[in-house]
């Protein structure tokens, strides 16, 4: 069944940080549903390769170089999309980096570069695209948060600050742009297998901790983020704005403790 309520066919969708990982997975999901997707990243070669790999027809997925740490790069990119397609229906702010170390050890430059890309870059992208959306009187913006949106993990302070800030930015923009028909939400993934995290989960202790903290047990793949992103871009979420949706295999639903863990199969009763 092709339900128009959930359709993104024909939408103009701009995705920051789509050369690999979650952004690429989301881009693929929109392209498969007949949206016109524009994928962006810092490096011309890698973003062109990604666009070519996702699309069998070069018109379907368009590559565009855009470094979100540079305001001018963002404004130029958004202007070129606006000129070519005349509108932007959905923005997905995915671009992000991380550097893990104790809070006490971050240099000023390290702190700034994480905030610049993950928070300031997302805002400048939202602002540039927001201008088009306000003018056209509709649009959906989806910001990619994290488990750190809600609660901070140790040893990644600037990342956690940026993700919490991004969530509040989503709410602030949702309130300000609601009257103009522009919706802004956060999709917060749990643990996803990508270049950003593959070293972490290759470590046995970390992987055991991840499994223990993921009720659904398995690690997410980028394509696990597609359904919720498409939903947030479609008319099915027309009255949903300023919210955060955790796509995390249950990680934020509660906490698991040792009580009764030996009796996990149905029909068995916890012994303790």
What does the binding site for ligand NAP look like in residue numbers (CB under 6 A)? 16-23, 41-43, 46, 66-69, 94-97, 117, 144, 146, 189, 191-192, 194-197
Q: In terms of Cα–Cα distance, which of 157, 46, 68 is closest to 105?
A: 157
Q: In terms of Cα–Cα distance, which of 26, 6, 39 is closest to 189?
A: 26
Q: In terms of Cα–Cα distance, which of 184, 225, 182, 226 is closest to 87?
A: 182
Q: Closest distance between ligand NAP and the C-beta of residue 98, in Å?
A: 6
User: Is the Cβ of residue 3 or residue 195 nearer to ligand NAP in the bound state?
Assistant: 195
Q: Determine whether 246 is an active site residue.
A: no
| Rounded Cα gap, residues 25 and 18, in angstroms | 8
Asked whether 142 and 229 are in contact (CB, 8 A), the reply is yes
Neighbour-count burial for 64-88, b at 16+ CB within 10 Å, e otherwise:
bbbbbbebebbbebbeebbeeeeeb
Q: Closest distance between ligand NAP and the C-beta of residue 40, in Å?
A: 6
115 burial type by CB count under 10 A (0-12 exposed, 13-18 middle, 19+ buried): middle
Sorted by sequence, the CB contacts under 8 Å of residue 224 that are 6+ apart come out as 189, 192, 247
Q: Which of 111, 159, 239, 246 is catalytic?
A: 159
User: Is the Cβ of residue 89 or residue 248 nearer to ligand NAP in the bound state?
Assistant: 248
User: Is the Cβ of residue 67 or residue 89 nearer to ligand NAP in the bound state?
Assistant: 67
Tokens coding 112: 């700034």
User: Is the Cβ of residue 158 or residue 189 nearer to ligand NAP in the bound state?
Assistant: 189
Q: Closest distance between ligand NAP and the C-beta of residue 254, in Å?
A: 19
User: Is the Cβ of residue 29 or residue 96 nearer to ligand NAP in the bound state?
Assistant: 96
Active-site residue list: 159
């Amino acid at each position: 069944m092709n339900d128009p309520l959930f359709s993104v066919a024909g939408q103009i969708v701009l995705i920051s940080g789509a050369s690999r990982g979650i952004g690429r997975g989301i881009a693929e999901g929109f392209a498969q549903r007949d949206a016109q997707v524009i994928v962006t990243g810092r490096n011309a070669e890698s973003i062109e390769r990604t666009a070519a790999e996702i699309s069998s027809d070069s018109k379907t997925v368009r590559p565009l170089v855009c470094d979100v740490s540079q305001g001018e790069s963002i404004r130029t990119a958004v202007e070129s999309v606006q000129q070519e397609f005349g509108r932007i229906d959905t923005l997905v702010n995915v671009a992000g980096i991380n550097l893990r170390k104790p809070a006490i050890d971050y240099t000023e430059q390290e702190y700034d570069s994480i905030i610049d890309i993950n928070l300031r870059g997302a805002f400048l992208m939202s602002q540039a695209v927001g201008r088009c959306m306000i003018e056209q009187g509709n649009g959906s913006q989806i910001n990619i948060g994290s488990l750190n949106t809600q609660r901070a993990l140790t040893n990644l302070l600037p990342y956690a600050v940026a993700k919490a800030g991004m969530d509040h930015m989503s709410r602030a923009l949702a309130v300000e742009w609601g009257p103009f028909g522009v919706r802004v939400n956060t999709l917060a993934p749990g643990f996803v297998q990508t270049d950003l995290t593959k070293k972490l989960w290759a470590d046995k202790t970390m992987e055991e901790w991840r499994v223990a903290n993921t009720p659904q047990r398995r690690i997410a793949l980028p394509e696990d983020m597609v359904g919720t992103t498409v939903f947030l871009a479609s008319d099915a979420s027309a009255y949903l704005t300023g919210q955060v949706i955790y796509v995390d295999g249950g990680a934020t639903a509660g906490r698991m403790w040792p009580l009764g863990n030996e009796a996990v199969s149905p029909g068995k009763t916890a012994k303790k």
